[in-house]
Every structure is written in structure tokens, then in C-alpha cells.
Structure 1
Amino acid sequence: MRRRIVAVAAGVLLALTGVAAPATAAGHGPWVASWATAAQEAATEFGPNWSVEGFERQSLRQVVRASAGGLVTRVRLTNVYGTKPLRVAKATIARTAEGAAVRPDSVRPLTFGHRRSVEIPVGEETSSDLTVFRVAPLERVTITLYLAEATGPATMHLAANTTSYRAAGDHVADADGAAFTETSQSWYLLAGLDVAGQASRGSGVVTFGDSITDGAGATFGEYDRYPDDLAEALTPRPVLNTGIGGNRVLNDARCAGERAAARFERDVLDQPRAGTVIVLEGINDIGMPELPGEFPCVGQRPVVTAEQLIAGHRQLIRMAKADGMKIIGATMLPYQGTFYYSERGEAVRDAVNAWIRTSGEYDAVADFDRITADPAHPDALLPAYDSGDKLHPSDAGYAVMATEAAKAVRSLR
């Protein structure tokens, strides 16, 4: 059963159009998640960001790229890891221009229960009212929040792979970006962008995993992560990226997210009209025990067996199928030569990959290991597909992963 998002009916009376909206999203059919990200606890150990200090009397301007289009939109905000109620004084949505600028004729206020402001309890998410704001597939959209009161530590997503902007004072309605003089490479307080009113081909696809799904190693700002390429291949079908760098199947980490099963409901099952999930997880469970030194924010780093990892994958399969979702298993990529490689870990990776390929427990398989491996050295990435650290793919590597993932998704039809 999918968790009810707090507070906001989709159907509202739209003063802008004078059209009364019935409960089925103004007659536009059910909401579809067009963009989403995975929530993370405030932390700075894995990279500088604004999450720990939070925001006060500041405007936060953030850019996201929709995967599916629609005639109307709503924005989902999150206070899942907040330490106090989150008060958003004002919010707008607009079409992205250059940098922090937006198209002047496109700025629309967001409301929450017909009010400009909203308070989100600790541990909760909320969504805005329906807004008449047409979005095209693969269009960039800018969301601006004014946070008048101190937020405390802010729920975030560390690796946005795009630039976010901050300004002192209330600048939610500004078209130019002059006031937004500070930048960050993370997202804050955003959970998703939903659309309705325009048919998409099939239900949404959620890509779920670690830093490889999150897009580490991809060219910054160019939308070259494998989920980005997959969205282009499947357009106008929605594709969502809920990868978290450092994430694991079996253990939580303050700076790398809760373990896979603990966050699976929020990051996968709760996504509106998502019907398929691609799971790429396990390499951090295998590799992190080999890291030298202390990493308090990573938490426990036990040595794991193939049997333990397979049991973790089986839990995700059970959760997806109980919710009526199709689930695709992705084999773990080669990692020989990386900072936490070991022969022990390689044996575990091989065993889990063999189970993913042959067990038949996943509905389909995306064999990322096979397509990215160097034929001359099968335990290592093909050099053309290596971003440079022997672990994360290059743009070219992500492109072939997207092709393999698209094939697996289409096989489920």
C-alpha cells in the first residue's frame, strides 16, 4: 500500500482559469512522477553543501529536468530528515533560462491548500496544489523557495549534477538571476515534480541504486548519467533517478542513505504511477570493508557474503512484486583497479551477478557487467567506458548502460 503524501488534494478550484478541478487532477487523469530524487540526511563529509547550516531569510533556486510532459504540475517538498517543522514562506515554478535566470513570462506561484506558505512536519513530505504550467518532455524547470525562518539542517540530495542557487531575501519572483550569487551542486528540500494531463507511453521507470545510478563521473550539467540517457531513449515515458552515492543493500550510512530496503518504499513504491524499477546495488557492500581508516559517517562496514547480498535483493523483489511493480536486476559493473577492490570482493560480485542473470527471480536483467567489461580484462571496465577511477563509467559508458536498460524495460511489455 503506497504511503499517503501529507496534506494536499490534487483537485482545486483554479482561480487562474476559473475551472473547477474534480478529484482526478482537473480531469487530466492521475498524477505521474516526471522527476524525483532520493532524500539524504544533512551531511558534508562527502562534499561541501548547504544542508547542515540550512537556510534563513534566503531564496533557494533549483533546476530539474522533467522526463515526461504534462499540462499541469505539482511540486513535492520534503522534510524527511529535518529536525524541526519546515516552513516555506513562498514558492514559484518557472521555465529555465541561463544560469539562475528564468523566462519572465513563465513564473507561476505555487500554493499549498490555497495558501502561499506551508509548514511540513518533521519526517514528512507534502505536495503543492495543481498549477496550470505546461511541461514538455525533457524540459528544464526552475523551482524557487523562499525560506524566511531558520530551517535547521535541511534534507538534501548531495549529487545533483547541476547547479543550485541561493540569494539573500525574497527573490522567488525574480526573472533575472542577479541576486543569486551563491551556488551549490546539491538539491535541497525537493522530492519530486509530478505532471498530469498528457499521455505518456506506459508507467514510470525508477532507477534505484548507488553512485553509478546517481551519475558519478558523468560530465557535470550535461544530463549524461545513465538515467538521463534512458529518459531520452524512452521518452515520453517517465524515468526517475533515485540513486545515492555510497548507498548499500544491507547497511545504513548517515552520509550515503539508508539501506536499500529501508528507503525502497519512499524512493520507489511511493512514486506516482511508477510501474518498473531497475535495481543496481551491492558494490559498496562488497568494497567498503576494504577501505583503510575510519569513516564515521559511513557506519558499520561488515564483510558481506554473496548469500547475504542475494537475500537483500530478494527482499527488494518481494517488496516490488507485492506492490504490483515489475523489477529489473542489473548486474554490478567491473571494478578491478579501484580503491576498494579485492579478490575476495570480486568473488562475491561474480556470484551475485551469476544469480541475477540465471535465477529468474527478477522479471528481467540489464547486464551492465557484460556490456561495460574490457574483453581483455573482464574484471575491469573497458577504458573507453571508464571515467578515470576504475569504478564509475564515463559518458560513453553511461550511454551503453542506458541502451541495455532500455532493452530490458521494453522486454517487459
Structure 2
Amino acid sequence: MLKQLFAGLALLFSTQVACAYSQIWVGTWAASQQIPEPQNALPSADLMDATLRQTVHVSVGGATIRVHLSNAFGTRSLHLNSVHIARPIISGSSEIDSASDRTLLFSASTDLIIPPGAEYVSDPIAYPLAALSDLTISMHIEAEPGQQTCHPGSRQTTFYAHGDLTSAASLVSAKKIDHWYILSGVDVLALPGAYSIVALGDSITDGHAATADGNDRWTDVLAQRLQGNAATRAAGVLNQGIGGNHLLTDGLGPNALARFDRDVLAQTSVRYLIVLEGINDLGALARNEKATQQDHDELVLRIIGAYQQIVVRAHTHGIKVYGATIMPDSGSAYYHPNTASEHDREQVNTWIREPGNFDAVIDFDRVMADPARPLQLLPAYDSGDHLHPGPPGYEVMGQAIPFSLFK
């Protein structure tokens, strides 16, 4: 009888282990990290003995999760005394469902110190997380780590206040800001075959002119569609856009090639990459009234070379790369593109569309352009600055990506 009992326990244990190993981690949310510009950084005093409460909108769901925290640009160690997760009562509020509050552990400890330049991943925690739901992460920070690590374009309200309030039901007297700090990713444990899709881009991917706390970027639309399709419900969508980002030069955030390892290759179970970058490289030259034709020709070649580098590096890791054409920006008061810069854009888009350069093409240019004036965004899709789409435009972009790209 005793032998049978032990045999049964051994079988149960081996079955549980096999089940655990048959599952894989997949990214359900992520944000690119950068050094915040002075106007986007929090005053050092506000990060002394402070609680940050931040909310994210996930894509794919799961019953077990883990959270990534980043001190990528810190010049000193980042000491966090406690990190909690909870379900928010409503998007844009600091109020959480207290019954859902849980403490995250890091190497079985509630206290962690993240070295400069490093990222830490929490221990797994059983925490059912529905697809397309919100998750609130609260963390208590001892002090600013010299240099802040941030994602300025959150379009999501962050709350911060002094003291350890990580488990508080609401941060009544907290200050508010629409940036994410330290928070870089959320993973869920999923069934075999799950994967993530990374969107590498600039402000159009980051969601400039999207609704605050509204989750209506084109990547959000794509995630919602994927969840509505039985064949793609295991797909996570990771938005790695940075407003003002360039392919070739550091502007707002590191250039796309410099951040490629962290924002693409290091992401969890990434299988597909969508690249929508280049408008800021073209636009920066358009603002240079002394640019020669040689300058324009060299820029086009360098942009194409950057795309080739992205494809080569992604393919080395088994990642398929989909090139998105650069959308029209005629009339942009920021870049005021001229005939030469429009020709540059057309040359780049021609290369993107040529078979064999990318694994597939997502032709946002043709989808978003005004048929009557193809050098401009269709007015219904334009946020008003003739450069960025508004929510209706992001909806069209997200709807334009075929399910057949993700198998």
C-alpha cells in the first residue's frame, strides 16, 4: 500500500513537472527604455522613499506571470524595498482591487538591488491575467539611481508619492505623470506554440496622439484582433516604439540599431518583428536647408543599410522581419518636407516593397495616404499635424495587418 502511495505521488509529481516544462514564457507587454529628457525626468527628491504606481495593458493572457524591471541607464544601483501587483479598479486611476494585491519576489526576497545597466525579472507568481486586461505594478524606491530609466511615451497615468504605499488601496495625495519608469516588461506562462510580436518604431508606433489611458495605438488594435482570431490567440504584442527615435542617430532614445539587442532580441519568445522606422531620419535632413543631393542619396543608402542589418541580425535568431512602408508627411510643420525628401521616402519605400528584402511587407503608406493627394495622410486618419495618425488612423493601421503573417 505504501509503495502504491509513493508510486502515485511520484507519478503526480512527474506529471506536474512535465506540464510545467511543456509551457513557455511569452511576452505580453513591454516598453523601450531610455534616459528621460529633463522635462520628462522626475525630480530626484520625488524618488526618495517613494512609491511609483504604474498600469500597463497586456496582450495575451496567462495563469502565471513575471515582471521585468530595468535600471538600464542608472549610474548607481537601484534599491527597491517592495514590488506589488494588483488589478486596477479603472484605467487612469490609482485605485486598486485590494483583494487582488500580491507581493512580487526576486530570488525569494521582497527586497532587491538592481545594479547599474541591469534588468531583473521577478520570480514567477500564480496570478491569472486575462488577455487585453490591465495590470498595476507598485514599487517602493529607496532613492534615484543616479540616472533614471524611463519610457516617456506611456500614454498611461503613473502615480507617485512618498512612503511605502505599495499595498495601499488608493494613492489619494499622489502626484501624476504620463510616463513609465523602471518598468520594462511582463511575461505570462503559455502553452507551447505561443510567441511574441515586436513592433520596433518611433512615435507612430509609440502612439503619439493616441488617447490617454485609452489603449488605442495601432499595436493595441493588432493585439485585440489577434485575440479575436482562434489561430493567433497565443500571440503577445510588444510595443517597442520610442517617440522621436531614429534608425541611424541617437535622438530621443538610443538609435534603433543600438537598442536592437535589448528591445528585440532580449524579448521573451519573440518570433516576428515589424519595423516602422525612418521618418525621423528623413525628416531631420528635410529640416536642413543646406542638404545637398549627395546628402540625400547617402541618407537613403544608409537607411537601407540599417534595414539590412536589422534583417540579418533578426534572422540569426530565427525571427521573421516585416518591413512597414513609411507613411506620407507632406504638410508637416515640424519637418516641412521638400521635393528631395519626398523622393527619398519614395526610394526607401520602393526598396521595402521589393521582394526578398523583408520577409513580408506591411504597406502602411498605401493604406494611410489620401488617394486624392498621396503625399499626405488621409484627413480622417490625420491627428492634425500631418505626421502622426490619430486614433481612427491607428485603427486602420492595426486592421491592415493580415493574420496570415503570423502562423
TM-score, scaled relative to structure 1 = 0.87
Cα 1:150–1:306, aligned 2, differ >3 Å: closer, same or farther?
A: closer
- Look up the match of 2:5: none
Counterpart contact for 1:55–1:151, Cα < 8 Å:
no
Q: Is 1:73–2:69 an aligned residue pair?
A: no
Distance 1:410 1:361 in 2: 19
- Residues 206-221 of structure 1: matches in 2 within 5 Å? 206-221=198-213
- Look up the match of 1:8: none
Structure having the higher helix fraction is: 2
Post-superposition CA distance 1:311-334 (Å, at most 9, x none): 110000001101100110000010
Q: CA deviation at 1:261?
A: 1.3
Distance 2:80 2:94 in 1: 20
- Residues 9-408 of structure 1: matches in 2 within 5 Å? 26-27=20-21, 29-44=23-38, 47-50=39-42, 55-98=47-90, 99-179=93-173, 181-196=174-189, 198-199=190-191, 202-235=194-227, 236=233, 237-253=235-251, 256-291=252-287, 305-338=299-332, 339-340=334-335, 341-405=337-401, 407=402
Counterpart contact for 1:43–1:51, Cα < 8 Å:
no
- Look up the match of 2:9: none
Report the secondary structure of 2:159's partner residue. strand
Which moved further from structure 2: 55-64 or 142-151?
Answer: 142-151
Counterpart contact for 2:86–2:102, Cα < 8 Å:
yes
Distance 2:247 2:128 in 1: 38
Greater Rg over alpha carbons, structure: 2
Counterpart contact for 2:23–2:192, Cα < 8 Å:
no
Query: What's the RMSD between the two structures over aligned residues?
Result: 2.2
Instruction: After the TM superposition, list the runs of 4 or more consecutive aligned residues in structure 1 that deviate by more than 4 angstroms.
Output: 19-28, 51-54
Counterpart contact for 1:43–1:52, Cα < 8 Å:
no
Report the secondary structure of 1:370's partner residue. helix
Post-superposition CA distance 1:145-189 (Å, at most 9, x none): 00123433210000101100001101001122324x200100000
Cα 1:21–1:306, aligned 2, differ >3 Å: closer, same or farther?
A: farther
Distance 2:14 2:105 in 1: 16
Distance 1:79 1:51 in 2: 17
Report the secondary structure of 2:257's partner residue. helix
Distance 1:309 1:163 in 2: 35
Report the secondary structure of 1:212's partner residue. helix
Distance 1:53 1:288 in 2: 36
Count residues with an aligned counterpart.
Answer: 379
Amino acid at match of 2:271: G
> What are structure 2's unaligned runs of at least 5 residues?
1-12, 228-232, 290-294
Report the secondary structure of 1:238's partner residue. strand
Which moved further from structure 2: 272-281 or 353-362?
Answer: 353-362
Counterpart contact for 2:352–2:361, Cα < 8 Å:
yes
Distance 1:25 1:150 in 2: 41
- Look up the match of 1:11: none
Distance 1:320 1:388 in 2: 35
Cα 1:345–1:59, aligned 2, differ >3 Å: closer, same or farther?
A: same
> What are structure 1's unaligned runs of at least 5 residues?
1-18, 294-301
Counterpart contact for 1:57–1:150, Cα < 8 Å:
no
Counterpart contact for 1:317–1:327, Cα < 8 Å:
yes
Counterpart contact for 1:329–1:365, Cα < 8 Å:
yes
Post-superposition CA distance 1:84-113 (Å, at most 9, x none): 011111100111113001101000001110
Counterpart contact for 2:74–2:117, Cα < 8 Å:
yes
Cα 1:41–1:20, aligned 2, differ >3 Å: closer, same or farther?
A: farther
Amino acid at match of 1:239: V
